[in-house]
Amino acid sequence: MRIFRARKLLCRSFSNTLHSEPLRVCVVGSGPAGCYTAEKMLKAREQAQVDIIDRLPTPFGLVRSGVAPDHPETKIVVNQFSRVAQHERCSFFGNVTLGSSVSLSELRRLYHVVVLAYGAESDRNLGIPGENLKGVLSAREFVWWYNGHPDGQNLDPDLKSTDTAVILGQGNVALDVARILLRPTSELATTDIASHALATLEESSIRVVYLVGRRGPAQAACTAKELREVLGIKNLDISIQESDLILTPADEEELKSNRIHRRIFELLSKAATSRPRHAGLNQRRLHFVFFRKPDSFQESKDNTGHVSGVRFEKTVLESVGPGKQIAVGTGEFEDIKCGIVLKSIGYKSVPVDGLPFDHKKGIVPNDEGRVLSDTSDTAALEEGLYVCGWLKRGPTGIVATNLYCAEETVSSILEDLENGVLISSTAALKPGRNGLLKLMHDRNVRIVSFNDWEKIDSEERRLGSSRNKPREKLATWNELLTATAEGTEYST
């Protein structure tokens, strides 16, 4: 797949003279993928100038808007990312949107290297009847809502007209959502949860949550820390059917070679057998339901247009290869009544103009981070264009996964610089940062610098301290941009 140009000797002499001209890199997206990429580029090239752009005024991507409020230790990595953004050869430009503030082709003209790390801001769809009913939400939107993302403000989920929520999916995001719905709100009150969400949760009538997976407990996609945590919530009844825990020989094979799934299975087994039932009104309950595939969403008869339940088809597992089983419908159906459904079945990336895209996989076609012109076997390399993070690999992994992902992409960039693959773009003098600043100025785009972010940060922490929270998030575009305009009254 890689195209090696046979101009090595010529390239070496060019690259020697070019060493005085700094390599100008633009990273689109300031989440883990973008920040790790920027860090590694800065380290690898003593002359590199790296600009990180983000459509939000706040940096750090999902570390700020995805990681649950009751997981503050996972957010500690922002300290490292802040140091990257504050590096003398790095600049953060918030409130700059790829596609509207600046186009991809413009960025490629301004910089020698452009790395797209803007993640996945859309959802996979089930494509089943009733998906548009009121009360059927994507977990992504719900997470944005409780994390104070400015685009999640208007979700307004109705948690007062039902006592039951169904969550489709059993990954860590599904567990996060379940935990936020079931955790005593007194515990959430001292986190950085958005205050509009806390207020809604305090009035929530939801007491029963179903976490539904298509396959069995041996295939559950969550990880041990999160599972352990949800099983340990105070005064929460856990319900797991023991019959679901019977392992087939294929399951046993899968578990034998997979430490994560083995430990998850053990935790679920213990939870199924050792939980005493709590009695009492308002008792909160979490059901782990396996082998159920959503077939359709049912509409309420009293409240038209609103969801009243989910019809599931029971499944069995079928082997499709070594260590891989899929869920196959059996033709038997079962309903779970509920007033709200949260789909946690995966995120999806959004393409931009001029960007090759693999719509089937929901990623940008690439070879170890080098963007390819299409998904065919004869695709060409898009010179100077690279990709990292979820946009490259699909929406899986943890923060640290991007560390290795960035290593691979940066490695490809450095290789291409060495081998002369980038020669035509690096030979030209590129305007880089100054060019972008001028363009944004001409377009009246109000750039939010890292210093400006620090004003937002200070203000959030100041507001939080009077409420016994680590921060009170500014959850609207207006509040965020206003805080950047504030004087240096609160700056440290």
Partner 1 sequence: MLNLNSRLARVAISIAKHLSTRDYTSMCRAGYTPTAHLQPLFQQNSLTNLYKGSMFKKHNFLSTTTSNNTAEGGSEQNETISVTFVDKDGEEKLIKVPIGMSMLEAAHQNDIELEGACEGSLACSTCHVIVMDVEYYNKLEDPTDEENDMLDLAFGLCETSRLGCQVIATPELDGVRLALPAATRNFAVDGYVPKPH
Please state, in angstroms and as integers, the Cα–Cα distance from residue 65 to each residue in 180, 388, 403, following that order: 14, 19, 19
Does 42 engage in binding with partner 1 (CB under 8 A)? yes
Does 87 engage in binding with partner 1 (CB under 8 A)? yes
* 158 versus 358: smaller Cβ distance to partner 1: 358
The two structure tokens encoding residue 434: 């100054």
Report the C-alpha gap between 21 and 426 in whole angstroms. 9
Does 252 engage in binding with partner 1 (CB under 8 A)? no
Does 269 engage in binding with partner 1 (CB under 8 A)? no
Which of 128, 400, 428, 429 is in the footprint of partner 1 by CB under 8 A? 400
- State in angstroms the smallest separation of the CB of 9 from partner 1: 27
Does 225 engage in binding with partner 1 (CB under 8 A)? yes
* 322 versus 331: smaller Cβ distance to partner 1: 322
Please state, in angstroms and as integers, the Cα–Cα distance from residue 483 to each residue in 191, 212, 491, following that order: 21, 41, 11
3-state secondary structure of 2: coil
Does 72 engage in binding with partner 1 (CB under 8 A)? yes
Does 235 engage in binding with partner 1 (CB under 8 A)? no
Q: What are phi and psi of 467, to 5 degrees?
A: -115, 15
Which of 55, 214, 284, 469 is in the footprint of partner 1 by CB under 8 A? 469
* 80 versus 105: smaller Cβ distance to partner 1: 80
Of 141-149, 166-174, 237-245, 428-436, the window that binds partner 1 (rule: CB under 8 A) is 166-174
Q: Residues 288, 268: contact at Cβ < 8 Å?
A: yes
- Cβ neighbours for 95, distance < 8 A, ≥ 6 positions apart: 54, 55, 56, 57, 101, 445, 446, 447, 448, 481
Does 462 engage in binding with partner 1 (CB under 8 A)? no
Q: What are phi and psi of 271, to 5 degrees?
A: -65, -35
Which is nearest to 371 in space by CA: 421, 311, 326, 302?
421
CB atoms within 10 A of CB 450: 19
Which of 185, 223, 239, 375 is in the footprint of partner 1 by CB under 8 A? 223
Which of 153, 190, 241, 476 is in the footprint of partner 1 by CB under 8 A? 190
Which of 126, 155, 224, 414 is in the footprint of partner 1 by CB under 8 A? 224
* 329 versus 470: smaller Cβ distance to partner 1: 470
Q: Residues 255, 218: contact at Cβ < 8 Å?
A: yes
List contacts with partner 1 (CB under 8 A): 39, 42-43, 69-77, 79-80, 83-84, 87, 171-173, 187, 190-191, 221-225, 228-229, 257-260, 263, 395-401, 403-404, 461, 468-470
